[in-house]
Structures are given as structure tokens and as C-alpha cells.
């Protein structure tokens, strides 16, 4: 390709057309090739030099003359050439700049003396065009993520919500102000096996991303081979004392060097596969965050339920003691003839029934301790001694954050995971469509080889090979189209799953709000009932002390008070567990900012 012909003759003083400017900008701007004016070897003229090749132009600029400084193609104040005869040409980014390069190359009597031939320029421009094509992805598919429309506010949210603080949402369990709960959560975050598995999956996904992205770059391998061979079909004739003799020579050969192979990503298939792998790696991170959210909620729920069971166990023991005292009193009255045997049998039945509830609560407490031990990543017996003492439920509770439904899309890790699945499948669909287009592969190898054949001088020489290959699908029995259809179906699946996951998240939050409101109302009613039962027990004891009431009535009032206290303990536990469910539904327990860091 002759640049004089490309840009037009010198006497035509007009700017090049768009096609000419596009070719120059594609070749020069994309590669950022450093062109300079430089004195030719042994000549009193200047040329244009680039790496690994030069273009020398005769009689264009004479030595020690003043030349215009070129800047974006516009001549400014003249400046003398540098001492070594070098003048930098800036990267062309305008039509005028392209015209300046054309003006330099179109001087009269300009000729190619050495360096880059027209074939090299043609190869350069073709390669520039290929790289420009590889930068675009015509088969890209937009991820359908705009189908989810969150509501403006919650339907069952309480009016007592506070302003949302990211720190409160991240460490919501601190609101209970329970040191033992804080210590358990710290240990679980460090030793839980589910988190360790999720962390390993994140590492795996990131490594696979690197594997997929490596297809975007050339592969360079070191090769070497050698051997000795002697074959009967390789016969050489040589003169001997008896005449012409035939013998089979022994050949020693050794070769080695570098081999490179590069598939040019013309239509973005490899880029889209890398995007899909990146989205999958991000999905693995979101799965880790989802596991952390679930772990914190489950641990706090089990801990609160354990404290509730231990509190109910203490109330039940008091109830059993009162019923035993009532049975003893009835037996005493029976000896005095005040009650009959049926009264004793009825009280004994009630006592044994109440005592039967004690192992149930003990079993529930043991199961909760064992569950907590697994979450902490340690044997169950190690935790029983730490949690055997019956501590009361935490007196404090975290506030309900004022969180809007739109915030779920960024806060809940399961929704972020579903979104990454949609992005990955969209990229996979684009990569599948790219299989319909041709693929170009460039290969090159070079090295050194040596050959020695017995009786002949050895040969050592450098070796190289250059090649390229272009493949395009013609007939594949519908395999590529079926692959595209399957990828499109997978995209529809994950898009529907994303919408479903958001609806389920809204359901979780609304249900948590409803459960919390119901538990609060029940707790208030149980508190009122406990106050009334306490008052009734106090009046019954006062009447008994004055002789206006019998002893059994006083015991019955105390037993009724303990029954209400047990229900009150259930309600208090339910209120705190409902709070944990709210924070779990909102995705509390992690921070997007910390995860990004």
C-alpha cells in the first residue's frame, strides 16, 4: 500500500476523506505507535521511524533547517530541529493531524529506501481492524433486571421504626446487649463450617474467572525435543574401495524454542465468557454473605430460644413444688377426714402430668445447645458447661430499622445472588450467539535446531513458523442454534427466579412484621394476665393468713400465677425471635461497603 496513493498527490492541497482518516487513526491511535522524524543513516535527510522498522523519505527536510513544530496538525511557532535530528509527532486525533502526516509523506521525490514494505503496512492495518472488532461484542444481550418494581413502603411495618443506620443493620445483635451472645457470634464467624465452605467456593470461583479470562490473551509455551533415529528407508550411497556402497546413517536432531497461539476475539465470545465467569464469582461472594446472614439469625434465634426454655424450666420447677405441697396438704386433710381419696388422686394426676413436661423442656434445651455447638464449629460437650447456667432473656432489644422495600435489592445477599445469575446467563447467551460467527487463530513459533548425520557435517540453524487459521460454521445439524435456545431458556429461568426471589423477600419482611406485632400484642396480654394472677395470689394468701380462706385455695392461686408466667415467658421469647426474623428478612449481618473493601 502506497501512502502517497492513499492520501492523494501532493499538489491536491485538501484534507483527506473520512475513510483515509479512519484508517490512519485506527492504525496509529489504537497502537499508539511512536513516530519520530529522524536523520537517516549516512544521509542528509530525515525520515519517519517506528519500532522494528523505518520509513526514509528523501529530500523532505534538510539538515539544520528550521522545521515547523507539529501539534495536532496545526503549525505553530517554528523551532529548530534537535541536535540528534529528532522531532516527535504526537498521536493523531483529528482530521487536521491526519493531514499533517499525509503532507509529510506526500513530498515530491519521496521514496521507500528500507524498512517497512507495503505488505507490512497492509498487515498492520488489518491487525488494527481486527483488534478494533475484538473490542466490541455485537452479540451482547442485556440482562432483564428491570422487571422488578418494589413497592413504596411496607404494608405491616410498625410506626415505631427508627432511622436506618448501616452499622445497626450490620451488627444488629449488639442491640440485645448480651455479652455471651456477642461472644458466640464472634466465634461462629471465625469457625463455622458453612462459612468456611462458602469462602472456599469464592476462591474457586475467582480462580475459574482467571482461567476463563486467560483465553483473551495469547498463550506462549516453551518447547524442546530431540532424538536419534536410524531408518532402513533412509539409504545413502557413498564410494568405497569395492565401488559404490550403501549405508543407513544415524541422525541426531535437537530443536527448541517458543510457540505462541492466540485466538482473536472478533465477536466478543471470550469477553462474554469472562463476564459470565466474573458474575459467577460475584455470585459466590453473595452466597457467602447469604450464609453469614442465615448463620447469625439462626444462632441468635437458638440462643434466645434456649434462654426462654431455661426460664420456663425454672417456672415449671416452681409449679411442680407447689403441686407437691398441695398433694401433701390433701394427704394431711385426708387423714383428718376433710377430703376423700378422689381429691388426692386428682392432685396426684395433675402433679405427674406437670412433671412430665420437665424432661421435654430439658431435651429442648440440650438440642438447642447441641445446635449452637455445631454452628460454632465445636463438639457439643464443650458448650454445655458454658450455657448450662440458666440466664434470663436479654432485657434490651434492637430497634426496628426504617428500611424501605427498594433497599432489599442491594441489602439482601440472596437477591444480589439472583441478580448475578441473570447477568451470567445473559453473558452466556451472548457467547452462545457468537458461535455463529467465524473464529480467527494466529500462531507463531521460533527457536533453534541442530541436525547431525553420521559422516556429514552437522547443521545448526534458527527455525520459525508463522500461521493463521479462520474457521466458520457451515453445517452442525442445529447444534449451535440448540445451544443458543438452551442458553435463552436458562436466561428466562434465572430472570423468573430473580423476580420470584424478590417477591419472597417481600413476603419474608411482611411476615416478620406481622409476627412481631402479634408477639407484642400477646406479650402485653400475658403481662396483664400475670399482673392479675399475681394480685389474685396475693389476695388468696392474705385471706388464708386471716383464716377466711383455706390453704388449698392459696396454693391454687400460686399455681395459676405460674401458669401465666410460663405463657409470659413464651411471649417474651417470641418477641425477640420475631425481631431476629425481621433483621434476617432485611438482610442484616453484613455490609456491602465492607464486602467491597
Select from 1.20.1600.10, 1.10.260.40, 1.10.490.20, 1.10.540.10 the CATH code of 144-226+248-597.
1.20.1600.10
pLDDT tens, residue by residue, 451-486: 887 766 788 888 889 999 999 999 999 999 999 999
pLDDT tens, residue by residue, 187-227: 999 999 999 999 999 999 999 999 999 999 999 999 999 99
pLDDT band at 102 (very low <50, low <70, confident <90, very high): very low
Q: Can you give the pLDDT at residue 548?
A: 65
Closest residue by Cα to residue 134 from 434, 466, 423: 434
Maximum average pLDDT range among 45-59, 312-326, 479-493? 479-493
Asked whether the predicted pLDDT for residue 92 surpasses 50, the reply is: no
CA–CA separation, 231 vs 248, rounded Å? 7
- Name the least confident of 63-77, 230-244, 286-300, 363-377: 63-77
Q: Can you give the pLDDT at residue 95?
A: 38
CA–CA separation, 327 vs 355, rounded Å? 13
Q: Can you give the pLDDT at residue 243?
A: 73
pLDDT band at 322 (very low <50, low <70, confident <90, very high): confident
Give the three-state DSSP class for 495: helix
Closest residue by Cα to residue 556 from 567, 543, 568: 543
H or E element, residue 411: helix 408-411
Asked whether the predicted pLDDT for residue 86 surpasses 70, the reply is: no
Q: Can you give the pLDDT at residue 416?
A: 94
CA–CA separation, 93 vs 112, rounded Å? 26
Give the three-state DSSP class for 143: coil
pLDDT band at 169 (very low <50, low <70, confident <90, very high): confident
Burial class (CB in 10 A: 0-12, 13-18, 19+), 56: buried
Burial class (CB in 10 A: 0-12, 13-18, 19+), 408: buried
Arithmetic mean of pLDDT, 58-63: 33
490 contacts: CB under 8 Å, gap ≥ 6: 425, 428, 429
Could you tell me the three cell numbers for 53?
522498522
CA–CA separation, 45 vs 37, rounded Å? 10
CA–CA separation, 317 vs 355, rounded Å? 8
CA–CA separation, 303 vs 188, rounded Å? 13
What average pLDDT is seen over the chain? Answer: 77
Burial class (CB in 10 A: 0-12, 13-18, 19+), 182: middle
Task: Give the Å distances, CA to CA, from 205 to 35, 276, 288, 381, 520.
Answer: 44, 11, 12, 36, 44
DSSP assignment, residue 44? S
Asked whether the predicted pLDDT for residue 346 surpasses 60, the reply is: yes
Q: Can you give the pLDDT at residue 39?
A: 34
Q: Can you give the pLDDT at residue 129?
A: 56
Residue that has been written with the C-alpha cell 497502537 in this structure? 31
Closest residue by Cα to residue 422 from 144, 141, 140, 138: 144
- Between these two residues, 155 and 305, which has the higher pLDDT value? 305
* Percent of all residues in the chain with a pLDDT value above 90, rounded to a whole number: 44
pLDDT tens, residue by residue, 367-389: 999 999 999 999 988 888 889 88
Answer yes or no: are the C-beta atoms of 24 and 101 closer than 8 Å. Answer: yes
Could you tell me the three cell numbers for 120?
507490512
- Name the least confident of 108-117, 136-145, 305-314, 428-437: 108-117
**In the chain, which segments carry CATH 1.20.1600.10?**
144-226+248-597
Could you tell me the three cell numbers for 456?
556429514
Asked whether the predicted pLDDT for residue 161 surpasses 70, the reply is: no
- Between these two residues, 57 and 259, which has the higher pLDDT value? 259
CA–CA separation, 92 vs 396, rounded Å? 69
pLDDT tens, residue by residue, 8-42: 343 333 334 444 444 444 444 444 444 333 333 44
Answer yes or no: are the C-beta atoms of 302 and 368 closer than 8 Å. Answer: yes
Task: Give the Å distances, CA to CA, from 429 to 134, 435, 453.
Answer: 18, 10, 57
Q: Can you give the pLDDT at residue 151?
A: 87
95 contacts: CB under 8 Å, gap ≥ 6: 15, 16, 21, 73
Model pTM above 0.85: no
| Own/partner long-range contacts of 116-122 (Cβ < 8 Å, ≥24 apart) | 116/50, 116/53, 116/54, 116/55, 118/1, 118/2, 120/53, 121/1, 121/3, 122/1
Task: Give the Å distances, CA to CA, from 22 to 109, 128, 377, 425, 540.
Answer: 26, 11, 64, 36, 102
Q: Can you give the pLDDT at residue 96?
A: 40
- Between these two residues, 325 and 146, which has the higher pLDDT value? 325
CA–CA separation, 258 vs 448, rounded Å? 10
Asked whether the predicted pLDDT for residue 586 surpasses 60, the reply is: yes
Closest residue by Cα to residue 182 from 169, 195, 171, 168: 171
Task: Give the Å distances, CA to CA, from 207 to 278, 308, 410.
Answer: 10, 46, 25
- Name the least confident of 164-168, 256-260, 341-345: 164-168
Could you tell me the three cell numbers for 354?
406437670
Asked whether the predicted pLDDT for residue 83 surpasses 50, the reply is: no
Residue that has been written with the C-alpha cell 489504537 in this structure? 30
pLDDT band at 166 (very low <50, low <70, confident <90, very high): low
Q: Can you give the pLDDT at residue 42?
A: 40
Amino acid at each position: 500500500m502506497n501512502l502517497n496513493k492513499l492520501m492523494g498527490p501532493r499538489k491536491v492541497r485538501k484534507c483527506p476523506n473520512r475513510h483515509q482518516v479512519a484508517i490512519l487513526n485506527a492504525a496509529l491511535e489504537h497502537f499508539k505507535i511512536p513516530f519520530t522524524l529522524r536523520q537517516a543513516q549516512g544521509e542528509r535527510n530525515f525520515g519517519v521511524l517506528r519500532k522494528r522498522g523505518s520509513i526514509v523519505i528523501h529530500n523532505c527536510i534538510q539538515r539544520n533547517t528550521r522545521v515547523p513544530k507539529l501539534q495536532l496538525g496545526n503549525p505553530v511557532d517554528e523551532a529548530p530541529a534537535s541536535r540528534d535530528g529528532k522531532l516527535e509527532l504526537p498521536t493523531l486525533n483529528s482530521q487536521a493531524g491526519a493531514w499533517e502526516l499525509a503532507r509529510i509523506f506526500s513530498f515530491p521525490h519521496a521514496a521507500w529506501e528500507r524498512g517497512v514494505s507495503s505488505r507490512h503496512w497492509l498487515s498492520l492495518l488489518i491487525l488494527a481492524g481486527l483488534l478494533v472488532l475484538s473490542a466490541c461484542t455485537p452479540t451482547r444481550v442485556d440482562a432483564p433486571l428491570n422487571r422488578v418494581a418494589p413497592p413504596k413502603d411496607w404494608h405491616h411495618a410498625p410506626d415505631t421504626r427508627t432511622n436506618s443506620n448501616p452499622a445497626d443493620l450490620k451488627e444488629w445483635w449488639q442491640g440485645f446487649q448480651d455479652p455471651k451472645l456477642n461472644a458466640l457470634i464472634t466465634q461462629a464467624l471465625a469457625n463455622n463450617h458453612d462459612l468456611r465452605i462458602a469462602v472456599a467456593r469464592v476462591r474457586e470461583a475467582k480462580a475459574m474467572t482467571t482461567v476463563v479470562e486467560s483465553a483473551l490473551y495469547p498463550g506462549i509455551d516453551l518447547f524442546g525435543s530431540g532424538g536419534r533415529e536410524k531408518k532402513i528407508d533412509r539409504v545413502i550411497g557413498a564410494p568405497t574401495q569395492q565401488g559404490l556402497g550403501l549405508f543407513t546413517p544415524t541422525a541426531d536432531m535437537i530443536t527448541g524454542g517458543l510457540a505462541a497461539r492466540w485466538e482473536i476475539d472478533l465477536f466478543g465470545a471470550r469477553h462474554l465468557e469472562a463476564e459470565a465467569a466474573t458474575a459467577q464469582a460475584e455470585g459466590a461472594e453473595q452466597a457467602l454473605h447469604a450464609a453469614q446472614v442465615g448463620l447469625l439469625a439462626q444462632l441468635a434465634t437458638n440462643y434466645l430460644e434456649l434462654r426462654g426454655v431455661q426460664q420456663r424450666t425454672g417456672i415449671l420447677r416452681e409449679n411442680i413444688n407447689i403441686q407437691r405441697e398441695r398433694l401433701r396438704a390433701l394427704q394431711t386433710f385426708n387423714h383428718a377426714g376433710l377430703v376423700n381419696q378422689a381429691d388426692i388422686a386428682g392432685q396426684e394426676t395433675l402433679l405427674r402430668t406437670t412433671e412430665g413436661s420437665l424432661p421435654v423442656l430439658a431435651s429442648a434445651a440440650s438440642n438447642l445447645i447441641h445446635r449452637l455447638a455445631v454452628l460454632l464449629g465445636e463438639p457439643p460437650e464443650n458448650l454445655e458447661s458454658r450455657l448450662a447456667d440458666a440466664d434470663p432473656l436479654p432485657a434490651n432489644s434492637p430497634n426496628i430499622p426504617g428500611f424501605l422495600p427498594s433497599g432489599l435489592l442491594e441489602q439482601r445477599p440472596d437477591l444480589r445472588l439472583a441478580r448475578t445469575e441473570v447477568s451470567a446467563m445473559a453473558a452466556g447467551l451472548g457467547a452462545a450467539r457468537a458461535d455463529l460467527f467465524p473464529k480467527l487463530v494466529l500462531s507463531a513459533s521460533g527457536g533453534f535446531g541442530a541436525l547431525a548425520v553420521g559422516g556429514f557435517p552437522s547443521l545448526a540453524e534458527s527455525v520459525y513458523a508463522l500461521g493463521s487459521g479462520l474457521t466458520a460454521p457451515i453445517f452442525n445439524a442445529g447444534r449451535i442454534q440448540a445451544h443458543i435456545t438452551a442458553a435463552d431458556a436458562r436466561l428466562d429461568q434465572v430472570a423468573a427466579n430473580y423476580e420470584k426471589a424478590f417477591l419472597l423477600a417481600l413476603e419474608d419482611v411482611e411476615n416478620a412484621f406481622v409476627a412481631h406485632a402479634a408477639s407484642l400484642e400477646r406479650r402485653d396480654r400475658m403481662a396483664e394476665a400475670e399482673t392479675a394472677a399475681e394480685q389474685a395470689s396475693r389476695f388468696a394468701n392474705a385471706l388464708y393468713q386471716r383464716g377466711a380462706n383455706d390453704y388449698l385455695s392459696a396454693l391454687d392461686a400460686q399455681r395459676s400465677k405460674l401458669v401465666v408466667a410460663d405463657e409470659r415467658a413464651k411471649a417474651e421469647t417470641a418477641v425477640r425471635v420475631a425481631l431476629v426474623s425481621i433483621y434476617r428478612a432485611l438482610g442484616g449481618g453484613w455490609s456491602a461497603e465492607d464486602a467491597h473493601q
